[in-house]
Chain A
Amino acid sequence: MLLVVAYSRAARRTLRNVCRSHGESVVRRFGRVALLAETAFAAFQALRLREKHGGDIQIERTRPFNEFEAVDEPVREAARAYEQRDRPSLPYRTFADGTDHPDPEQLRNTEL
């Protein structure tokens, strides 16, 4: 999908208007952010916004996230185990310490 972010009031206003007029291209809108469909028409609208507002419009293309492709089993396992921890206030670093779960640095340094 296309992720469009508005960084000025004027850009936000135009984004809102575009979303109102072309609801069929909008997957979701949150305040100054919108997710647009993967169509050339949505891209056209996004480009029009950038043409008008320059650097105040950011356009990114998102990909569906599949955790079975993007990360290894230990990461999925760690997330599951951490959410089942007994003490809610336990930081993940401490939780992972001395176990087989990856430590936070290791996770930060691993790209998807």
Chain B
Amino acid sequence: MSNAGSTGVEVRVGEETHSGRAVDLTGLHAGSQRVVAAVRGEVGVDVDGADGDDATDGADAADSGGGRLAVACPDPRAVHEYVGHVRPSMGLRVRTALSAAARSRGASAPQDDRIEALRQRLADLEVPEPPETAAARRRVAGTEAAVERARERVAALRGRLQAGREAGRDVSDVESDLAEATRELSECETERAAAREALERAQRQARERRDASDRRRQLEDRLANLERAARRDLVERFRDEFADAVAVAPASEAAVAEREAVADPFETDAVTAALAVGRVADLRAPVVVACDRFDTPEAATDWLGAPVIRVSP
């Protein structure tokens, strides 16, 4: 949210204020989800979960029940999305999280320039809205038959006119019918031409749109490949540091035994992996710790090297 000194955290719950690098909110039954939302700047969080009722009187929201919760801290970096909320039920994409941790440390990957260029190209790429081709098809349908009908009528009237003249009858009615039919034929032909042209235009637009979305998909695929390569690169560089952190992460005896049985640090349990990634990362915003790996919030702060808000699980 907003700044609260260099790396400190200021948590306000109703009238109460807690501040420092290690804040203990275990006494308060604030759902850890809400605390995380407050850290990430999703403002207007009620501790007791009442939505709306006591939040109606504005920013200074007075206390009622648990009171409103506000956290002042530096803006979280991307890595906070992965390891900013450590809880027993969590899952973690460890490699993605570790590459975000590497980014928080200012690490860059050899693919970065190309990734940036591709993102720019994608941002500049405009895919037009799909044209209304159904209306154009509907308009064309039937114009051919209409022309055919008008043509047949003209031919029939011509025949009658010819026969009438040869027989010396009065043909003025037939003449005016023929003039009318000829005008109708010309109108039908004009409409057919216009309808076909409109359809061709719509089809051209549809083709352009498909070309553009094909190009976008190709760029997206290339971007995804480069991002994967960049992540692999970053993970490779921070792999040892991460493995060391996993090896010294606090855990129950059972978890330690299990950890030792698993050779690959990337296969460790999610909480341990999140803590280890957090230790590798440079975290500005507080980590909301909702697990019982540390005796005190201060111990968590020391181990992670980051501000911590301890909440009950």
Q: Is the interface of B mostly helix, strand, loop or mixed?
A: helix
Asked whether A55 is an interface residue with its Cβ less than 8 Å from the other chain, the reply is yes
Q: Cβ of A8 and Cβ of B213 under 8 Å apart?
A: yes
Q: Is the CB of B206 within 8 A of A58?
A: yes
A41 at the interface (CB under 8 A from B): no
Q: Which residues of B contact A5 (CB under 8 A)?
A: 210
Q: Mark A1-34, 1 if CB is under 8 A from B, else 0.
A: 0000101110000000000000000000000000
In the bound assembly, the distance between CA atoms of A8 and B213 in angstroms comes to: 8
B209 within 8 A of A: yes
With a CB–CB cut-off of 8 A, which chain A residues contact B206? 55, 58
- Complex CA distance for A57 and B242, rounded to whole angstroms: 47
Interface size class of B (residues with CB under 8 A): under 10
By size class, the interface of chain A is under 10
Q: How far is the CB of B181 from chain A (nearest CB, A)?
A: 31
What's the Cα separation between A5 and B214 when bound, in Å? 12
Is A103 on the interface with B (CB-CB < 8 A)?
no
Residues in B with CB closer than 8 Å to A58 are 206, 210
Cβ < 8 Å to A, chain B residues 198-230:
206, 209-210, 213-214, 217
Q: Would you give the shortest CB distance from B200 to chain A, in whole angstroms? A: 13
- Asked if B130 lies at the interface with its beta carbon under 8 angstroms from chain A, I say yes
> Which A residues touch B217, using CB under 8 A?
8-9
Please give, as numbers and ranges, the residues of chain B lying within 8 Å of A9 by CB-CB distance. Answer: 217
Chain B contacts to A: CB under 8 angstroms: 130-131, 133, 206, 209-210, 213-214, 217
Please name 17 pairs of A and B residues whose Cβ atoms are closer than 8 Å in the assembled complex, sorted by A.
A5-B210, A7-B210, A7-B213, A7-B214, A8-B213, A8-B217, A9-B217, A54-B130, A55-B130, A55-B131, A55-B133, A55-B206, A55-B209, A55-B210, A56-B213, A58-B206, A58-B210
